[in-house]
Amino acid sequence: MDIVSGETAVRLVGQIDSGCGWPSFTKPIASANVSELQDASLGMIRTEVRSAHGDSHLGHVFDDGPEDRGGLRYCINSASLRFIPREEMQAQGYGEYLDQVEDIP
């Protein structure tokens, strides 16, 4: 969830090891609660990912993710998120998303 606004729908699924050092995922659980904006800073064109309602910067999305999982890589700043362990999701009110979250080996 977005650590600033407390939005619960910015959770991301499909964690991948992208080798960049930031948590990377293949898609948001609720895409309606994630905004994607063009970011032309730092001399490059990127797509910024923000929480739609809290308007917090979360990271960037790139098109170099695993092809078999849609081809996207959401590279998210871990300081912008509050991670909830799978085994605590039900107790913290996120049980409806359990079927969309995979165990990470």
> Are 1 and 8 a contacting pair, CB within 8 Å?
yes
DSSP H or E run through 50: strand 46-51
> Are 56 and 50 a contacting pair, CB within 8 Å?
yes
- The C-alpha atoms of residue 92 and residue 99 are separated, in whole angstroms, by 15
- Based on the residue annotation, tell me whether 75 is a catalytic residue of this protein: yes
Active-site residue, from 10, 49, 52, 75: 75
Q: Active-site positions?
A: 75
